[in-house]
Amino acid sequence: MKRISVDIGGTFTDCFVAWDGRYIQAKALTTHHNLAQGFNEALDHACSTLNLGRDHVLREVDSVRYATTLGTNALIERRGPQVGVIVTAGFEATIPLSRGRGYGEGLDELARNDMSSGTRPDPLVPPTLIRSVRERVDYAGTVLMDLGRENVRQALREVVDAGAEALVVCLTNATENPAHELRVQEIFLAEYPAHQLGAIPMLLSHQLSGRKGEYVRATSAIVDGFLHATMYHALSELEQNLREHGYPRPMLIIHNSGGMAQLNSTDALQTIHSGPVAGISASEHLAGQAGLGNVVATDMGGTSYDIGLVPADGVKHYDFMPVIDRWLVSVPMIHLVTLGAGGGSIAGYDRLGYRRAPDFDGAEPVRSVAHLRYVAQMYTNLAR
């Protein structure tokens, strides 16, 4: 068996090479400007142990599998494009209201029981980037009101002029009849060709989630749209790097469901927590070999700390309506609890008191530690 497995985190890129009974681990700093550089460096460390060249190894391996927390980190840090949304007229408040659950989603049990102190998360889509179109499809998929071209053109023009860098379309009952969502996409591509807007992505909610319920379908598509550019460019860069060094097979991406697929069959939403989910599968394998029984698997990264359970009977815990960060989505995934603070997180302070922000120094953990020491000294001086 010849296989390369890679985990790209916010701070380190880890590489594990299985080569005819030999198992080599290697590590390099993650190079955010070009992820392929960090991967090549980690792989070169492993290849030097095998006394083989990188190109030779990539030509011979059976598969290259990627797991990553890049999507998780981007969401925690709120590092993404401005997302605009097109909805059915009359449903403009669905996303801001979040079915009244926005105060509690993603909070622990104690915080959910104290709703008077609850706060909504900062929205990924502000109300100024939500536009509506006049159309109506009923619960059975019957068109009750046709979609007008000029109405769509006006809504698209407004949301683009407002600064949208990615677009999501979530129309009522599109899971039963997606004709109107597809029509919006058709008008958008005709009105704004790729060479004019730099290929702003448009995501259709029915293609991401086949479940009814406008709010959950919308949040799923919005999170996917928020991460789309980050994951698309990063993973495409990695696949191109493999091609340049002679790897002939499709690159495989680990999904948060526990499976894997090629890049062209992967949504950005499916990559959230893919690194820790792969770690849960590895923990399950090791726990079975050692006869450990029930195991708690943890993953401390630079940006986040992830916790999962491995029961002795081998039955994984799945969330079929998981909460990612503080948004309810409809993509099933292996259950994880994620804390937005890791080994490279930076403590912050303002004049009003302590402030815990998910700030992060990437592949510069030494500078992060120095910063924390500086903050600690500052608190000491204030106490005096």
- Does the pLDDT of residue 198 top 60, yes or no? no
Q: How many residues does the chain have?
A: 384
Highest mean pLDDT among 51-55, 182-186, 309-313: 182-186
Highest mean pLDDT among 23-27, 329-333, 360-364: 23-27
- Does the pLDDT of residue 204 top 90, yes or no? yes
- Does the pLDDT of residue 153 top 90, yes or no? yes
- Does the pLDDT of residue 129 top 90, yes or no? yes
Averaged pLDDT, 233-248: 87
146 Cβ contact partners less than 8 Å away, ≥ 6 residues apart: 135
Q: Residue 326 — very low, low, confident or very high, per pLDDT cuts 50/70/90?
A: confident
Which residues make beta-bridge pairs with 353? 350
SS3 content of the chain, % helix, strand, coil (to 5): 40, 25, 35
pLDDT > 90 in the chain, percent? 26
pLDDT of residue 157: 93
Averaged pLDDT, 118-147: 90
pLDDT of residue 381: 55
Q: Residue 257 — very low, low, confident or very high, per pLDDT cuts 50/70/90?
A: confident
- Does the pLDDT of residue 177 top 90, yes or no? yes
pLDDT of residue 375: 44
- Does the pLDDT of residue 372 top 50, yes or no? no
**C-beta separation of 275 from 9 below 8 A:** yes
Q: Nearest CA to 130 among 172, 165, 149, 158?
A: 158
Q: Residue 366 — very low, low, confident or very high, per pLDDT cuts 50/70/90?
A: very low
| Placement of tokens 């985190």 in the chain | 9
Lowest mean pLDDT, pick from 12-26, 52-66, 245-259, 330-344: 330-344
Which residues make beta-bridge pairs with 126? none
Rounded to an integer, what distance in angstroms lies between the CA atom of residue 362 and that of residue 345? 9
Q: Residue 363 — very low, low, confident or very high, per pLDDT cuts 50/70/90?
A: very low
Which residues make beta-bridge pairs with 4? 17, 64
111 Cβ contact partners less than 8 Å away, ≥ 6 residues apart: 104, 117, 118
Lowest mean pLDDT, pick from 17-21, 115-119, 149-153, 377-381: 377-381
Rounded to an integer, what distance in angstroms lies between the CA atom of residue 163 and that of residue 283? 44
Q: Residue 367 — very low, low, confident or very high, per pLDDT cuts 50/70/90?
A: very low
* Alpha carbon distance, N-terminus to C-terminus of the chain: 62
CA distances from 155 to 191, 204, 207 (A): 12, 16, 21
Averaged pLDDT, 32-44: 88
Higher pLDDT pick, 219 / 100: 219
CA distances from 167 to 159, 218, 222 (A): 9, 11, 8
Rounded to an integer, what distance in angstroms lies between the CA atom of residue 315 and that of residue 311? 6
Handedness of CA 289, 292, 294, 296 (dihedral sign): negative
- Does the pLDDT of residue 349 top 80, yes or no? no
Which pTM value belongs to this model? 0.78
Averaged pLDDT, 250-263: 87
* Residue 30 token pair: 């993650």
Task: Tell me the average pLDDT of the chain.
Answer: 82
Higher pLDDT pick, 119 / 231: 231
